[in-house]
Every structure is written in structure tokens, then in C-alpha cells.
């Protein structure tokens, strides 16, 4: 039995290509039956997420098996030739290594993220329920989940946020603790401030005010976040009630001056406020950070923290891959001892493909 992995991801293909080959969840079972209903593929799992589309399969003939997968991908878009340059193709030990790294978050856009583990589990479970996995892929995916658990518990690969928005949200948690009762003001509704607001929302913040020169944009973003829209000139009034302010306007000069903030801070009795200035040019005068109980960070401050976190993860990446390679070797030793075709799994998949009951004698 030999293993094959064919796919594309955020590293190999732009989003306009990835979205073309994304497989709707409702169609995956049908496609799995198409792939495994007859030789050369005996088992298959389709992993389809926003950042990757991958097909893992077993076959006695890897060359014919890979061609079957590429033919299937071509059938998804028969109107244009398949550009294989966007796809990677792994076999044997390299296919095992790739899956273990994917399941462990080592092959993700955000290094060390854990969401992908659940996505891979869901993909495997669906294939198993469809009857399209057998001894080889069952063991392969179970071992990939063990690898993911080992990486999470024995490394620091998931420590420290690596996006500006997540870093800002993590700093807010450090300053205020629980964010559930904290209020946020977005001054400007650019994409980066919206991303930061979503990160704060994900960490429990539920009260968000959006103030933007184009009021319609403020209304739209406030609706998305379940918050409140305010006209731009109202921001000093709204400032009195908030704990966090994110600024991201397109103004050519600062829109938040120190003398204004000093007055506002006196009126709020110097209750702490966290200011995140993501604009370039900056929206907030740098000296504002000298005011008592004002915590000011600009985008460069946040990027330094994000880069430090990423550097830590990248150092861990080498050690994580070494650990995973040990597990890969053990799996390959098992596979070498089970070279035969899994006739029972192959028969079950073929019968399902024909709409027959695989439990029938």
C-alpha cells in the first residue's frame, strides 16, 4: 500500500485559484465515492478549507493514483486546462510528513494555529462515514492527530499572536483582563481597524462603537460587530465611555491631539484607556502616550511584538519538524509491514459508489 497527497494551499496558489477548487461540504461524500469507486485509488480523504484543498489517498500504483486525482481536479473545472504548477504532489514518507505538519498547524498561514486540527478531523470523519477509508488512511490520520497533540503539549509553536490585530487584542487583555464589560471606539473603519475589532470581539468584547467620516461605512461595520454607529464629530463625546480606541483614518495629519486628550482624560478622572493607532500617517500625536493612564501603541509597536512572536514560533518549527519526523518513521515502519491491498475497505467504497449496502453478504 502506498500513499499519495495532492493539493494546493496559501503558499502554492493565490486565493482566486484556491476558491475555484474549494469543494462544498455537501459535495465531498459524492466526490469521495467518485475517487474510490474503482482502481487505482482504494481510499481517499478530501480536506477543503479557506486556505487549502488537499486529497490524501492510498493506491498500489502511485503514478496512476496521482493521475486519477489530477483527472478528478480537472473535472471540477472542465472549461479550462488544469495548471499543475499551483499544486504540490507528495508520495510515501513525504505525504505522511505533509499531513502531520498540516494537522499540527506547522503548514498554516498563521504558524501554530490549532483550528486546522479540527478541520482535518472533520474531513477524516466524513470520509470514514462515507466508507472511503481503510487500514492505511485510518492509521495515517489517527497518527496525525497524535502528532498534533504532541506538538501542542511539548512545544511553544502556538504561543504569541503573529498578526497586528491579534497582538493588539492580546495587549488589551493584559491591560484590562476580562474584556466582556469593556467598550471599544473605532475611529475610522479601515480594514486593519476592523480586523483588530474582530479580534477584540473574539476575546469577549461586546460593546463596540464605530465612528467614521463616511457614516454608511460606520453603520455597516457596526452592524457586523453588533455595535453602534456614531458620526465622526461625535467621537470626543463617545470617548468618555470607552476603554479602548482604535484609530485608522485616512487623514494626512493627526486627528487626536494631546491637548484634547488631556481635557478628556481629566473629565473621565484618568480612567485607563488603551489607544491603538494603526493609521499611516498616524492619527494620534505620539506625546499622547505620556498622559497618565493612557496606553498608546502604533502599528510599528504592534509589528515588533508580532515579529518577536513569529521568530519564537519559527525557532520552535525546526524542533517540531524533528519530533514529527520521528513519528513519520514509525508510521512508515508500520506501513511497510502492511503492504497488501485493503480489499474489505476497497469493496465497501466500491459498493457505496454504486449505491449498494456494503453490509450485505
The residue from 50, 132, 205, 320 that is catalytic is 50
Q: Looking at residues 29-40, what average pLDDT do you find?
A: 94
| pLDDT band (50, 70, 90) for residue 338 | confident
Higher pLDDT, 201 or 326: 326
Which residue ranges make up each domain of the chain?
A: 2-154+313-353, 164-292
Q: Give the span between the Cα atoms of 279 and 276, in whole angstroms.
A: 9
Q: Looking at residues 270-284, what average pLDDT do you find?
A: 91
Which pLDDT belongs to residue 161? 67
- Which single residue is written with the C-alpha cell 503492504? 339
Is the pLDDT reported for residue 354 higher than 70? no
Judged by DSSP in three states, 72 sits in helix
Specify whether domain 2-154+313-353 bears CATH 1.10.10.60: no
pLDDT digits (tens, 9 = 90+) for 256-274: 999 999 999 999 999 999 9
pLDDT digits (tens, 9 = 90+) for 217-228: 999 999 988 999
pLDDT digits (tens, 9 = 90+) for 147-185: 999 999 999 887 776 777 788 888 888 888 889 999 999
Q: Give the span between the Cα atoms of 118 and 115, in whole angstroms.
A: 6
50 is catalytic: yes
| pLDDT band (50, 70, 90) for residue 360 | very low
| pLDDT band (50, 70, 90) for residue 300 | confident
User: Apex CA 115: angle with CA 247 and CA 314, to 5°?
Assistant: 75
| pLDDT band (50, 70, 90) for residue 359 | very low
Q: Kindly report the length of the chain.
A: 361
For 164-292, CATH gives 3.40.50.720
C-alpha cell at 268: 473621565
Q: Looking at residues 122-143, what average pLDDT do you find?
A: 97
Asked if 350 contacts 37 with a C-beta cutoff of 8 angstroms, the reply is yes
| pLDDT band (50, 70, 90) for residue 132 | very high
Q: Tell me the C-alpha to C-alpha distance, in Å, between residue 181 and each of 46, 56, 126, 271, 277.
A: 42, 46, 40, 14, 22
Name the percent of the chain lying above pLDDT 70: 93
pTM over 0.75: no
Which pLDDT belongs to residue 341? 52
- CA pseudo-torsion sign 352, 358, 360, 361: positive
| pLDDT band (50, 70, 90) for residue 355 | low
Q: Where are the alpha helices (DSSP H) in 164-243?
A: 164-176, 191-202, 215-225, 235-239
Which pLDDT belongs to residue 348? 52
Judged by DSSP in three states, 293 sits in coil
Amino acid at each position: 500500500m502506498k500513499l499519495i497527497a495532492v493539493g494546493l494551499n496559501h503558499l502554492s496558489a493565490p486565493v482566486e485559484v484556491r476558491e475555484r477548487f474549494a469543494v462544498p461540504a455537501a459535495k465531498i461524500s459524492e466526490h469521495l465515492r467518485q475517487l474510490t469507486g474503482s482502481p487505482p485509488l482504494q481510499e481517499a480523504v478530501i480536506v477543503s478549507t479557506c486556505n487549502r484543498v488537499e486529497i490524501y489517498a492510498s493506491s498500489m500504483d502511485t503514478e496512476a493514483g496521482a493521475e486519477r486525482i489530477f483527472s478528478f481536479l480537472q473535472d471540477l473545472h472542465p472549461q479550462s486546462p488544469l495548471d499543475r504548477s499551483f499544486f504540490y504532489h507528495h508520495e510515501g514518507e513525504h505525504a505522511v510528513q505533509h499531513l502531520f505538519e498540516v494537522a499540527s498547524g506547522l503548514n498554516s498561514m498563521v504558524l501554530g494555529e490549532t483550528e486546522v486540527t479540527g478541520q482535518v478531523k472533520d474531513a477524516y470523519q466524513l470520509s470514514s462515514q462515507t466508507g472511503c477509508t481503510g487500514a492505511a488512511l485510518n492509521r495515517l490520520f489517527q497518527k496525525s492527530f497524535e502528532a498534533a497533540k504532541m506538538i501542542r503539549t511539548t512545544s511553544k509553536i502556538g504561543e504569541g499572536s503573529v498578526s497586528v490585530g491579534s497582538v493588539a487584542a492580546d495587549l488589551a487583555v493584559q491591560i484590562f483582563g476580562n474584556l466582556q464589560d469593556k467598550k471599544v471606539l473605532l475611529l475610522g473603519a479601515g480594514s486593519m481597524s476592523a480586523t483588530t475589532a474582530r479580534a477584540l470581539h473574539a476575546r469577549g468584547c461586546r460593546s463596540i462603537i464605530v465612528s467614521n467620516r463616511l457614516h454608511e461605512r460606520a453603520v455597516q461595520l457596526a452592524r457586523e460587530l453588533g455595535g453602534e454607529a456614531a458620526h465622526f464629530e461625535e467621537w470626543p463625546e463617545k470617548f468618555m465611555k470607552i476603554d479602548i480606541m482604535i484609530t485608522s483614518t485616512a487623514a494626512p495629519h493627526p486627528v487626536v491631539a494631546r491637548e484634547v486628550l488631556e481635557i478628556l482624560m481629566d473629565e473621565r478622572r484618568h480612567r485607563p484607556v488603551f489607544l491603538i493607532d494603526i493609521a499611516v500617517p498616524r492619527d494620534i500625536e505620539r506625546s499622547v502616550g505620556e498622559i497618565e493612564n493612557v496606553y498608546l501603541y502604533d502599528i510599528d509597536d504592534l509589528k515588533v511584538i508580532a515579529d518577536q512572536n513569529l521568530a519564537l514560533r519559527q525557532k520552535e518549527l525546526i524542533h517540531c519538524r524533528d519530533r514529527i519526523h520521528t513519528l513519520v518513521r514509525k508510521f512508515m515502519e508500520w506501513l511497510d509491514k502492511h503492504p497488501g491491498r485493503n480489499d474489505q475497505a476497497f469493496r465497501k467504497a466500491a459498493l457505496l459508489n454504486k449505491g449498494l449496502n456494503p453490509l450485505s453478504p
